[in-house]
Structure 1
Amino acid sequence: MEFVRVIGAYIYLLHVIQYLHILQIVCLQETKITRDMLDEATALVEGYSSYYSFSRKKSGYSGVATYCKNSCTPFQAEEGLAGTLSSHEAKIDFYDSVHGSFTDEGLKALDSEGRCVMTLHRFKEEETVASLIVINVYCPHAGDNDERLAYKLEFYRALSLRCDDLLSQGYHVIVLGDINVSHRLIDHCEPDDVTSFSKSPSRIWLDGFLVEGGGKFIDSFRYLYPTKEKAFTCWNTKMNARVNNYGTRIDYIMLSSKLSQSLRECIIMSEVYGSDHCPVKASIALNFISSTQLPALCTKNFKEFSGKQLKMSEFICKRSLAVGSADELQSKPDVSEPKKMRLSQKTTKQQSSLLNFFASTSVTSRENVSSLQFVSSTTESTNSFDCNKSLSTATSSSVGLWKNLLKGPAPPPVCSGHKEACVLRTVKKKGPNMNRQFWACPRAAGHSSDLNAQCNFFLWSSAKR
């Protein structure tokens, strides 16, 4: 079977769904949609069942989804890591370590951002039937000194504890998604501080999660390609960094150690565009047993897609008018209206579309000609020749005056490295300079040794957005 991990917003999600027929399980992160935004074409893909987790904090944020082919329909599916969102019949259970390590408020916070979907599968293993948990996660983003770091580390800890409980019950486990940390120096294009790189709290956690650091999981890509360089999965799109493959590897498919014997391939699909991340695909030799009943969390059980509840769109449908004469479609004018207004209504064509406002101004009918002549004759009664001459003189004078007063924006500075016109960027990081603008080299980001990549030119702009 094949697993694929994909990240991207809703439009990218739709793009990936077109290729679902060639994959068994597809896990998407950062879908950025809420349940009311999910349409039927996306939720109900032929040949697949889908399972979503939506952010409860705000719209257009976070979110994950798992699509399973009918040949490997899960026996259970659960939303979240801590079991605070799913009903009892939808829970996979085994929360002892997680519930014993967090407060009720902390457990709700872990699940509130829509960062996890878990599916329970079964497959034949020699003479027995084995159970597999697929954990699709979108781990929080945070810098080492960011206020979100504490939440990120708590999410990591909960993930580890839940995996420990599942493994202790004899389950095989796959954790895949955007882990939001590059593991080794080889997984980063150019770290700022090489000496303290491995001391990052996020990397310390990942070390302990993987086998080489005493954990119970393997990084499927590095298991097969331990020394492969420039194997990145994420690039800064604002800096056009993908052009020079100046990125990081922060997206993983991690298998509990016993599954390593079944791993056949793991590839980074860098040729697939549409997001700042690219998909990662793993092929694992497992003989799945498909469930005959869909889990409660499946989108096919949603009221809006099961026929139990009508959507608002059903009440608002396009209505067509019967074909008739123009006189039948127009109401009779009020006899109390002034004669001039009735004349205007009679000589003006009925507007049938908003597009008429953007139509060509060329005269195409006798009726339009009559209308234009009426307006023109009214204007000419005020000596149009002298008026036009005075208007032309005044316009020329005012244009010259405005040109002297408003000289337009100054040309952008040129960068020191390539002598090319710079581009204006805005600081998005929280701090005293947030929303302040600066000039930077227009070229794509790249390694500092690459002379064709972006140079280090920097100049503050006086503007602040």
Structure 2
Amino acid sequence: MKLISWNVNGLRAAVKKGFNEYFDLMNADIFCIQESKLQAGQIEMDHGDRYHQYWNYAVKKGYSGTAIFTKVKPLSVYYGIEENVEEEGRMITLEFQNFYLVNVYTPNAKRDLTRLPYRLEWENRFRHYVQQLDQLKPVIICGDLNVAHLDIDVKNAKSNHGNSGFTTEERGKMTELLNAGFMDTFRYFYPDTTDVYSWWSYMSKVRERNIGWRIDYFLASERLAPYLIDASIDHQIMGSDHCPIMLEINDFPELPAHHAVQS
């Protein structure tokens, strides 16, 4: 299977910058996007003959939103974390025969950190949610998690300490999530690789100089490690302030519940 995730920062804008061409070229089995910034009916994606489409729109216009395109029809679809409601359209869960896929756009703490308390509370609910799924079958989580976990995940770690997306609290929540039975698939393959990022500021020359952050992830249940082929970042792909990330994984059998497996 080939899975791709991309924060497109406005799908209508990304389409004008080559999104459809990249989508067709990659021919992914599952393609997830974040920050669609759409309402229902505002765009028609010409992939219906090959993909099932699932959209979670934010109530607020031009804000947030997620979508999944999948060649295989899921067994079930769930929007949000609780009560099937998430006003900001930040999450979609698809259940397949052998795993769950969770596409997520984690809330930003904001530059002045005014939304940090909400962000941390959301992180706790999200971790509890995916742990519950993991008790049933393996989980693959993808999306813009709005945090650079390690010092090597941001260009200028020392000067960025305490900034939104690189606070001790946010990084700690990522650590808690990984300690709950999940792995960062990119770091699984490339534990020491530096200067590989998935987001760059729109400030002049920042992307050209590769002053970036790695805040987009594929996380996976630890027991999927034997089936992973590669995790990569298409940093050369433009069209957004983020670039696409990819996970390649071999087909795997239905696995026992998390508590019955040693990672």
Shorter-normalised TM range: 0.7 to 0.9
Corresponding residue of 1:10: 11
Residue deviations 1:276-311 (CA, integer Å, cap 9, x gap):
00000010001599xxxxxxxxxxxxxxxxxxxxxx
Corresponding residue of 2:257: none
Q: How does 1:57-456 map to 2 (within 5 A)?
A: 58-69=60-71, 72-85=72-85, 111-122=86-97, 131-143=98-110, 145-168=112-135, 170-193=136-159, 200-210=168-178, 214-286=179-251
Residue range with higher mean Cα deviation, 188-197 or 236-245? 188-197
Alpha-carbon RMSD across the aligned residues, in angstroms, is 2.1
Aligned equivalents of 1:12, 1:195: Cα separation in 2: 32
Contact (CA 8 Å) 1:144, 1:201: kept in 2 or not? Answer: no
Secondary structure (helix, strand or coil) at the match of 1:259 reads helix
Q: CA deviation at 1:233?
A: 0.5
Contact (CA 8 Å) 1:49, 1:67: kept in 2 or not? Answer: yes
Contact (CA 8 Å) 1:186, 1:230: kept in 2 or not? Answer: yes
Aligned equivalents of 1:152, 1:18: Cα separation in 2: 34
Q: What code does the residue aligned with 2:62 have?
A: G
> Taking structure 1 as reference, are residues 258 and 146 closer, same or farther at Cα in structure 2, changes over 3 Å only?
same
> Taking structure 1 as reference, are residues 257 and 31 closer, same or farther at Cα in structure 2, changes over 3 Å only?
same
Match of 1:55 among 36, 55, 58: 58
> Taking structure 1 as reference, are residues 160 and 242 closer, same or farther at Cα in structure 2, changes over 3 Å only?
same
Aligned equivalents of 1:267, 1:18: Cα separation in 2: 19
Deviation above 4 Å: which 4+ runs of structure 1? 192-199
> Taking structure 1 as reference, are residues 195 and 138 closer, same or farther at Cα in structure 2, changes over 3 Å only?
closer
Match of 2:31 among 20, 26, 31: 26
Q: What code does the residue aligned with 2:93 have?
A: M
Secondary structure (helix, strand or coil) at the match of 1:18 reads helix
Contact (CA 8 Å) 1:121, 1:288: kept in 2 or not? Answer: no
Higher relative contact order (CA 8 A, sep 6+): 2
Unmatched runs of 5 consecutive residues or more in structure 1: 86-110, 123-130, 290-465
Aligned equivalents of 1:194, 1:146: Cα separation in 2: 13
Q: CA deviation at 1:80?
A: 1.1
Q: CA deviation at 1:20?
A: 3.4
Contact (CA 8 Å) 1:4, 1:282: kept in 2 or not? Answer: yes
TM-score by length of 1: 0.50
Contact (CA 8 Å) 2:131, 2:180: kept in 1 or not? Answer: no
> Taking structure 1 as reference, are residues 46 and 20 closer, same or farther at Cα in structure 2, changes over 3 Å only?
farther
* Count of matched residue positions in the alignment of Structure 1 and Structure 2: 247
By percentage of residues, which structure has more helix? 1
Q: What code does the residue aligned with 2:143 have?
A: G
Contact (CA 8 Å) 2:74, 2:94: kept in 1 or not? Answer: yes
Q: CA deviation at 1:167?
A: 1.5
By percentage of residues, which structure has more strand? 2
TM-score by length of 2: 0.87
Aligned equivalents of 2:185, 2:35: Cα separation in 1: 22
- Percent identity between the two aligned chains: 28
Contact (CA 8 Å) 1:43, 1:50: kept in 2 or not? Answer: no
Aligned equivalents of 2:222, 2:243: Cα separation in 1: 25
